[in-house]
Structure 1
Amino acid sequence: MGGEVVEACCGCAGGDVFSWRDEGVAAEAVVLVKEQWWGEDFGAYLVLCLLKFALLSKSPLTEAVRCIQCSSKKESTKFQPKRTPQLDKSARTANTDNMNLKLFVSKSKKNVLFAEAGADVVDFLFSILTYPLGSIIRLLGKNSGFGCMDNLYKSVEHLGTGGYLKSEEHTKMLVCPKLAPFHSVDNQLLQIEESCLSAVVMDPRSPTGEVDTGKGYMKGPGTFMILNDLSVAPFSPVTSVALLYQMNITINDVVERVVAIGPDEALNLLNASLISKTVLSDVFNQKEPYPESAPFLSLLHDPSPPEFISLTCRSMSGGDDTPADRKVISLKLLVDKARNRVIFAESRHEFVDTLLSFLTLPIGSAVRLLGPDSTAIGSLTTMYNSVSSLESCLLRTDYCKDMLLNPRNATETQCSELKINVDPLEPVKFYDCHSCYPWLSTIKDRPCRCKRPLCRRVNVDQADKGAKDDCEGGGVFVKDGAFRFMITDDLQVMAGSTAACLSLFRKLGIDDGNKVEERTLEFGELEVMLHFCHTNAHHRGAVSVI
């Protein structure tokens, strides 16, 4: 590598250009990243950047290319809950009972200070971490205001109608993604179907090895304190008094109020948890009329820096051939030189498959993957950290915490076939006891009903049968054909066509072909290794242009 200029990915604070010319430095970078970061799947880093901006930005392609930290660009709007009619009837569960939440409200400030709740309410809140993004968007009527994820969701519907997805079952995987097995709870207020296994498996949340699902994560009965930002902790009278003192609230200023949580309140809690830092006040103390439709997250973007075009890696005319064994996805970008923005990207099915897989990702996994950047996602980070801090004795089994912090993806069998998978997980392992098949467990050496240990590894098909029949060859969700796809800067995905190009140009007011430039963006393992080493050494990112 000595003397050779190596491409690196876009950085986190745009504008600088760097090149690695020192073979020793590059080799050191490889070792550093292998030992401390993404393991073998370095190519997932830029896909992770794209996931972040898909959730938080209105122009994720441009932002992902520049990889600008979204936290300095973010400004959240006041939460405005949805009216009840926007809750689809299919979102309601047939047999549910309302849960009670005791609110402690400041009369002078007119906001919720904190709440007391039982294990059932905490189960519901924590279960939000297991909801797939696509199901959240469906429940919120495709108007979640969640970055550009609404556009991605609507694109799936259009692609399915146009026959570009592999089957109707694959379309359902994306627009109605299921909960992974054993991730539903009792009194499921919002209807998200749970996927089923082809064998009888003990619920890892059950201390007694029951096979029935829907028992929840928390060990009840018990009382918990829930703060405005959805921080959750065991109730303590001393802590509650100390909290009032810390807030400079007098005892006479506090009033108690009991509210019932049904499907409508659950929907508003879900919505607010995505975009608000004061969830309880916004949901239960709202006085203004609810809008019929409103954006719930707006991000203010500064004009793109003039260096943006030089940051899109390399022009179409240059560059060496990509070795066949490298995990690389290539995008053709059409860039508006005057506005320094991506107009659209052109790709084959591999990149579209990766984009669409975001809809199957549990929101808790997104919080974990984004790390510090997840603080922009409402109050989910504080709730996620509350789960991490809970004592194991408060949970039904030792495995409940891991199920919430690392929720499984119901379509992980399909996602394992992606060229770059943003959240590669170890396959679930199943065990039997030699004599009691089909009784299985995901926990090795767990006592069987016959008292013998479940220790023999067995294979269980976890893929949905309707989709499995079509999984041979081709893409993962999208058909592998000779066609190309267009991805606009706000993540509308469509089949490429001249008519679509002209329509987009007219919409953006572009009438001069000289104002646009074609670029090719390639990202893979080596680019990510060098980028990560550089950003850690210099606290900024960059791209090398050949």
Structure 2
Amino acid sequence: MAFETPTISIKLLIDQDSNAVLLAEAGNDFVDTLHSLLKLPLGNIVRLVDQHQSLQPGCLNNLYNSVQNLPLKNFRTEACKRMLLYPSNAHEVEFTKLKLNMDLTGPRGHFVCGNQLCNEKQGGWFSYYNTPICTCGGLMNVRATKLRESVAVKDETEGVLYKGESMFFITDDLRVLQGSTGDLIQILLNLGIKNVNSIEEKVVEFGSREMTHLLIHSLISKTTLTDAFLRKQGIGSSSLLLNKRLSFISPIIKETAEKDGRTRVKLMLRKSDMKLLYAEASEDFVDLVFSFLTIPRESALELILGAKCNLTLGSISNLFRDLNTMFSVSNQKNSQKGVLPPFYSSPNEFPNIRSRDPPEFCYYFAKRSSTFPFNTFYDSRVVNKPFDPKSPVPSTTNSSGYLEKNSFVITDDLVVKPLSLLSSISLLKELGILLDDVEQKVISIREVEAIALLGACLWSSSALSASLNFFAKKPKQEPL
């Protein structure tokens, strides 16, 4: 018997005259799944979209593929690469309680050293990955089936799951309204609908494919439900709208005065029209852009929408604002604890994107008694320390970034490769650019530029140009 994926039923109200979805009626299980999509790391959304659709807006997929194609020697540890390709989310336990769980990564395991003596002594180690080397020199690749949290786990459903049964109305542009039949009448009147004879009711089943299509259209469309389920448009039709949206970036930079940036990037420009061709940078900058893959979508939206701009991002900004209001109390608690799982934050990441503190775990084992008969055992336990997966040596602190020291070349659409003597020449040849038509400029990357780049990589296929081309026209050049 084939495995059946779970689905959620919702009712669409369709205006037959305009062939458009007026709104959807759904229960809290559907709203829970919508909310969980906002909490997914961006890297997991790339994988999710790749499963169901060949095209996606922006160039996060290029960033993801760059991590995948980058040789392991460029990462500080093997776990660093896995953390970027399969990022965990801070709500992995809550996600398992969803009727439709869209997270492809799933809960992390806990691993200890294969040497039992290491585990039985106080101050032993545990790891979320099976690749670290223990202090004894052994591999920490034994899954700890008896690992338990030392403090009783509280009900973690707050934050992702809506408590209690309720009915919701979701408009075509993804406004989420909790209401009743009386509210429905007022919503229809606000939409200009007076004659209910033109309204068709249609029940649809939402599985992972349908939810992914809705997610993609929410990024680029103001009529998300209609485009996803009636017209089924591709994302290419919104390219002009994307370019218009990205015009917000220059005003942000002009109005912002910050201290010197955390890292510098060398921009390679075409002299004739000052078009940004590609960039060269150290591991600090690449660590920053790679860390985008670990950021939850709602945190990315909060950064982008919190900037000084009038940017409107498809319908997902409506979804973000309404759900953020509904879950405001739990979101505030979660923000204080950190939005990333333990050890995920990077030195070059945004200040408000912090990792949670790792929980304290105890390792339980059976020990033979020396004072009772030979076949008598009793339970014993020791507290295990968390092993930072980004550190090549045992450490309990969030040590550093993901990459070893190196220089990289970054194309306009965020393809990242190690920089070599011939890589720049090969790239210029591929672009058809003459050597005497190339100009170099070095710029600092501050938080505001990093936010602009984050927004650009979500909606533009030319992320560097969309976010950093403003600097190409500035007369001042900074020293390398």
Residues 158, 330 of structure 2: 8 Å contact kept: no
Aligned residue number for residue 273 of structure 1: 218
1:430-449 to structure 2, matched below 5 A, reads none
1:390 to 1:287, Cα distance in 2 relative to 1, 3 A: closer
Hey, what's the Cα distance between the residues in 1 that align with 2:319 and 2:286?
A: 31
Verify: 1:123 aligned to 2:42, yes or no.
no
Aligned residue number for residue 106 of structure 1: 15
Verify: 1:148 aligned to 2:59, yes or no.
yes
Task: Give the deviation of 1:100 after TM superposition.
Answer: 0.7
Verify: 1:500 aligned to 2:444, yes or no.
no
Aligned residue number for residue 30 of structure 1: none
SS in 2 for 1:399: helix
1:179 to 1:203, Cα distance in 2 relative to 1, 3 A: farther
1:218 to 1:201, Cα distance in 2 relative to 1, 3 A: farther
Deviation digits for residues 309-347 of structure 1, max 9, x if unmatched? xx99xxxxxxxxxxxx97631222221111212222211
Letter in 2 for 1:234: Q
SS in 1 for 2:422: helix
1:295 to 1:341, Cα distance in 2 relative to 1, 3 A: same
Verify: 1:520 aligned to 2:447, yes or no.
no
SS in 1 for 2:75: coil
Task: Give the deviation of 1:478 after TM superposition.
Answer: 1.3
Task: Name the % identity.
Answer: 27
Hey, what's the Cα distance between the residues in 2 that align with 1:277 and 1:188?
A: 25
Task: Give the deviation of 1:143 after TM superposition.
Answer: 4.5
Verify: 1:390 aligned to 2:326, yes or no.
yes
Hey, what's the Cα distance between the residues in 1 that align with 2:447 and 2:303?
A: 18
Deviation digits for residues 388-414 of structure 1, max 9, x if unmatched? 33277xxxxx4256549997123x624
Hey, what's the Cα distance between the residues in 2 that align with 1:257 and 1:119?
A: 19
RMSD (Å), alpha carbons:
4.1
Residues 98, 161 of structure 2: 8 Å contact kept: no
Aligned residue number for residue 421 of structure 1: 349
Task: Give the deviation of 1:111 after TM superposition.
Answer: 0.9
Deviation digits for residues 174-215 of structure 1, max 9, x if unmatched? 1221221445141234243244487528898xxxx347x799
Verify: 1:340 aligned to 2:274, yes or no.
yes
Which of 244, 251, 257 is the equivalent residue of 2:202? 257
SS in 2 for 1:413: coil
Letter in 2 for 1:384: F
Deviation digits for residues 268-298 of structure 1, max 9, x if unmatched? 122222222222112222367xx7xx64752
Residues 38, 296 of structure 2: 8 Å contact kept: yes
Which of 130, 152, 170 is the equivalent residue of 2:80? 170
SS in 1 for 2:32: helix
Letter in 2 for 1:147: G
Whose relative contact order is higher, 1 or 2, with alpha carbons under 8 Å and at least 6 apart? Answer: 1
Aligned residue number for residue 228 of structure 1: 172
Task: Give the deviation of 1:499 after TM superposition.
Answer: 3.0
Deviation digits for residues 211-245 of structure 1, max 9, x if unmatched? 7x799420132111111122112122222111211
1:190 to 1:326, Cα distance in 2 relative to 1, 3 A: same
Hey, what's the Cα distance between the residues in 1 that align with 2:58 and 2:362?
A: 44
1:423 to 1:382, Cα distance in 2 relative to 1, 3 A: farther
Letter in 2 for 1:298: S
Residues 261, 444 of structure 2: 8 Å contact kept: no
1:193-232 to structure 2, matched below 5 A, reads 193-196=105-108, 200=149, 209-210=154-155, 216-232=160-176
Hey, what's the Cα distance between the residues in 1 that align with 2:69 and 2:63?
A: 10
SS in 2 for 1:415: coil
SS in 2 for 1:338: coil
Deviation digits for residues 440-459 of structure 1, max 9, x if unmatched? xxxxxxxxxxxxxxxxxxx9
SS in 1 for 2:74: coil
Residues 266, 443 of structure 2: 8 Å contact kept: yes
Task: Give the deviation of 1:525 after TM superposition.
Answer: 8.5
TM-score, with structure 1 as normaliser: 0.60
Hey, what's the Cα distance between the residues in 1 that align with 2:89 and 2:303?
A: 19
1:14-413 to structure 2, matched below 5 A, reads 96-141=5-50, 143-159=54-70, 161=71, 163-181=73-91, 182-184=93-95, 185-196=97-108, 200=149, 209-210=154-155, 216-249=160-193, 250-286=195-231, 295=236, 298-299=239-240, 328-371=262-305, 375-390=311-326, 398-399=329-330, 403=334, 408-410=339-341, 413=343
Hey, what's the Cα distance between the residues in 1 that align with 2:304 and 2:446?
A: 19
Is there any run of 5+ residues in structure 2 with no aligned partner, and where? 111-125, 127-147, 364-382, 451-469
Deviation digits for residues 473-523 of structure 1, max 9, x if unmatched? 99611112xx42111122111111233222221222212x22111222124
Aligned residue number for residue 10 of structure 1: none
Letter in 1 for 2:99: N
SS in 2 for 1:150: helix
Task: Count how many residue pairs are aligned between Structure 1 and Structure 2.
Answer: 380
Deviation digits for residues 418-460 of structure 1, max 9, x if unmatched? 2x3224345546899xxxx969xxxxxxxxxxxxxxxxxxx99
Farther off after superposition, 356-365 or 272-281: 272-281
Task: Give the deviation of 1:171 after TM superposition.
Answer: 1.5
Hey, what's the Cα distance between the residues in 1 that align with 2:289 and 2:12?
A: 40
Hey, what's the Cα distance between the residues in 2 that align with 1:270 and 1:500?
A: 36
Hey, what's the Cα distance between the residues in 2 that align with 1:520 and 1:471?
A: 37
1:251 to 1:98, Cα distance in 2 relative to 1, 3 A: same
TM-score, with structure 2 as normaliser: 0.68
Is there any run of 5+ residues in structure 1 with no aligned partner, and where? 1-91, 313-324, 393-397, 440-458, 529-539
Hey, what's the Cα distance between the residues in 2 that align with 1:165 and 1:260?
A: 42
SS in 1 for 2:67: helix
Residues 102, 117 of structure 1: 8 Å contact kept: yes
Hey, what's the Cα distance between the residues in 2 that align with 1:391 and 1:157?
A: 35
Residues 344, 488 of structure 1: 8 Å contact kept: yes
Residues 56, 216 of structure 2: 8 Å contact kept: no
Hey, what's the Cα distance between the residues in 1 that align with 2:104 and 2:74?
A: 25
1:279 to 1:348, Cα distance in 2 relative to 1, 3 A: same
Hey, what's the Cα distance between the residues in 2 that align with 1:336 and 1:147?
A: 23
Letter in 1 for 2:279: A
Aligned residue number for residue 5 of structure 1: none
Task: Give the deviation of 1:360 after TM superposition.
Answer: 0.6
Deviation digits for residues 63-99 of structure 1, max 9, x if unmatched? xxxxxxxxxxxxxxxxxxxxxxxxxxxxx9x775321
1:507 to 1:273, Cα distance in 2 relative to 1, 3 A: same
1:519 to 1:544, Cα distance in 2 relative to 1, 3 A: closer
Hey, what's the Cα distance between the residues in 1 that align with 2:106 and 2:171?
A: 29
SS in 2 for 1:124: helix
1:510 to 1:527, Cα distance in 2 relative to 1, 3 A: closer
